[in-house]
Amino acid sequence: MQKTNIMQSETIPRLLFKMSFPMMLSMLIQALYNVVDSIFVAMVSETALTAVSLAFPLQNLLISAAVGTGVGINSLLSRRLGEGKHEEANHVASTSLFLAFAMWVLFVLIGVFFTKPFLALFTKDTELLKLSTSYSRICLIVSFGCIFSITIEKLIQATGNSVQPMTMQLTGAITNIILDPVFIFVFGLGVNGAAIATVIGQIASMLLAIIFFKKNEYISIKFKDIKPNARIIKDIFQVGLPSIIMNSIGTVMVSLINKILILFSATAVSVFGVYFKLQSFVFMPVFGLNNGVIPILGFNYGARNKKRMLDTMKLGLVVALLIMITGTICFQLFAKELLSLFSATEEMYRIGIPALRTISLCFIPASISIILIASFQATGFGLASMMVSIIRQLVVLCPCALLLSRLIGINGVWYSFAIAEIFGLLFSVIFFIHVYNKKIKNL
């Protein structure tokens, strides 16, 4: 007999805390890893830091594919559990593991054949190209730990358990932080050492994920069931594919912005890479909140409980705003101190201080968009989240950055982020009104 799921029995504040806080904490640790990793790399040289920044789009593509598919898995599985279709939920889980394996094979091929040609589009510097290529290849070819840990994390989250995913992420991040200086400095592997520490941390997270998954009380699958199911794959990618595209747009955006910035200097690319590491301290907790909100919304959408859905969204918006307001204040007041963590040169300070202060203006409108997008993903309308990202990052941000960089210089690139986020918020509100009227209002 199936136990009563906390998604339908717990009060919303307690449920959101239970679901989101562990994920927010684990993502803060993940953000800490991102920053510590770059701090160690910056100690090697500014060229090494630039190499990792150039490799970021390929890493982001990997994470986007795994997380985007995971969003589709999470949404579908939580809805099936909310509908009481437990056998169908098992089939969703088994198909998800097959998709994880197929995704790993794809990224091995990308790592082997496409890494160097892609990175060569952004630099002709032989040393920089060599460092960024080797770093990227290690991360992509040995990506099975990353992909399987994310997939299983989303499966476990959908059953209402957020403590285990937190523990998995903590294990990976802490392992990574400990091994970084060992491989970079003790073994003298430099940038490659950072990549090796990264994949070992991901494998550690995956191994713990497998242990937790075997003990899950809501999902039960057998090895022979891990095979493709066309109907389930279609349902997963109905939400997951727009999310993959939405997140992958970040890869295109970062690549285009790097292309614009490198015309100014390699230091400008390093500053942009540092910004992305630092902003993760602000965005990662909100994404953790988002990861807690989606299964609650998805379950209660399946159970046709409108009040619990709306209560979850209202509380999520308040928490997201508080986090982003705090982040904005920190970036405005302590920009120089934040840059100093990365062995900043005078040139990095000159470019980076106005960059951090200007881009952080986008934090507050972004917080509202992120929570609204959770409602699109939870109700199976992932297309709306994809459209918001396309509008924000490709239609507005990149053209605006190119135009303003030519009109007012490098600061125009930073202003384009705030402009794009305002457009993103506008369209998020428009799409939410549509989703509410079509899917939520009459529950």
Which pair of tokens denotes residue 429? 């509100």
Tally Cβ neighbours within 10 Å of residue 238. Answer: 16
**CA 16 – CA 315 distance, rounded (Å):** 8
Sign of CA dihedral 410, 276, 312, 325: negative
pLDDT for the residue numbered 4 = 56
SS3 assignment for 371-436: HHHHHHHHCCCHHHHHHHHHHHHHHHHHHHHHHHHHHHCCHHHHHHHHHHHHHHHHHHHHHHHHHH
Q: Which amino acid is at 298?
A: G
Q: Which of 323, 437, 330 is nearest to 371 (CA)?
A: 323
Secondary structure of the chain: what % helix, strand, coil (to 5)?
85, 0, 15
**CA 15 to CA 162: how far, in whole Å?**
10
* Alpha-carbon span 302 to 317, nearest angstrom: 22
- Give this prediction's pTM: 0.77
pLDDT digits (tens, 9 = 90+) for 113-139: 999 999 998 888 899 999 999 999 999
Task: Judge contact between 417 and 359, C-beta under 8 A.
Answer: yes
Residue with tokens 């959770």: 374
CA distance 234 to 240: 9
Strand (E) or helix (H) holding 220: none
d(CA 421, CA 224): 46
For the stretch 287-311, pLDDT in tens is 889 888 888 888 888 788 888 889 9
Contacts of 255 (CB under 8 A, 6+ apart): 57, 121, 122
Provide the CA 31 distance to its chain's centre, in angstroms: 11
308 near 300, Cβ under 8 Å? yes
The stretches of 182-229 forming alpha helices (DSSP H) are 190-214
**Which positions ≥6 away from 333 have C-beta within 8 Å?**
none
- Cβ pair 434, 394 in contact under 8 A: no
For residue 439, give every residue at least 6 positions away whose Cβ sits within 8 Å of its Cβ, in sequence order, or none.
Answer: 301, 379, 380, 381
Q: Alpha-carbon Rg of the chain, whole angstroms?
A: 21
- Cβ neighbors of 202 (< 8 A, separation 6 or more) are 143, 145, 146, 149, 172
DSSP H or E run through 154: helix 144-158
The encoded tokens of residue 88 equal 């169908």
- Residues 220-256: pLDDT tens digits? 887 777 888 889 999 999 878 877 887 788 788 888 9
Question: What does each of the 443 residues of the chain score in pLDDT, given as a tens digit?
Answer: 445 567 667 788 888 888 888 778 877 877 777 777 788 888 888 888 888 888 888 988 898 899 889 988 988 888 888 787 888 888 889 999 999 999 999 999 999 999 999 999 888 889 999 999 999 999 999 999 999 999 999 999 888 787 888 889 889 988 998 999 999 999 999 999 999 999 999 999 999 999 999 888 888 887 777 888 889 999 999 878 877 887 788 788 888 999 999 899 889 998 998 998 899 889 988 988 988 888 888 888 878 888 888 999 999 999 999 999 999 999 999 999 999 988 888 999 999 999 999 999 999 999 999 999 888 878 877 778 778 888 998 899 999 999 999 999 999 999 999 999 999 999 999 999 988 888 888 87
Contact 76, 236 (CB under 8 A): yes
